């Protein structure tokens, strides 16, 4: 059981990193000027990381309680999957949201 929990923690961490990358990819995509790409390309992942650190991080003193924390994290994962879909990465978006669902359910079991 300990191995499953450790594997889940690794996958959850990689899912968080992938979420930040997809937010950045979306911001830098398109026919915009460099300045118009910088704000969303850097701002969206930064905002998500700050919110995650405050509301979902295990060591945060403002960490949300369980049902709200899962809703918060799953909402960010779904946003990342939607943005991947909008970028034309349909299969990747479906795989991402599938892993997010499994990770969210495992979080219920382990927490």
- Span 100-110, pLDDT tens digits: 999 999 999 88
Alpha-carbon gap, residue 54 to 72, rounded angstroms: 12
The residue range of the domain holding 9 is 2-110
Q: Exposed/middle/buried for 83, CB within 10 Å: 0-12, 13-18, 19+?
A: buried
User: So what's the pLDDT on residue 1?
Assistant: 83
pTM for this prediction? 0.92
Give tens-digit pLDDT for 23-66.
999 999 988 888 889 999 999 999 999 999 999 998 999 999 99
Q: In 10 A of CB 19, how many CB atoms?
A: 25
Contacts of 75 (CB under 8 A, 6+ apart): none
Q: Which pLDDT value is given to residue 13?
A: 95
By the 10 Å C-beta count (0-12 exposed, 13-18 middle, 19+ buried), 49 is classed as: middle
Say how many domains are in the chain: 1
pLDDT at 80 over 80: yes
Per-residue pLDDT at 39: 92
């Amino acid at each position: 059981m300990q191995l499953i929990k450790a594997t889940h923690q690794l996958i959850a961490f990689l899912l968080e990193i992938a979420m930040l990358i997809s937010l950045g990819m979306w911001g830098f995509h398109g026919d915009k000027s460099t300045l118009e790409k910088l704000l969303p390309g850097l701002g969206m992942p930064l905002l998500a990381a700050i919110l995650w650190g405050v509301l979902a991080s295990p060591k945060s003193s403002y960490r949300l309680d369980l049902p709200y924390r899962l809703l918060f994290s799953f909402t960010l994962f779904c946003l990342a999957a939607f943005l991947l879909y909008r970028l034309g990465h349909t299969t990747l978006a479906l795989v991402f949201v599938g892993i997010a669902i499994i990770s969210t359910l495992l979080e219920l079991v382990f927490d």
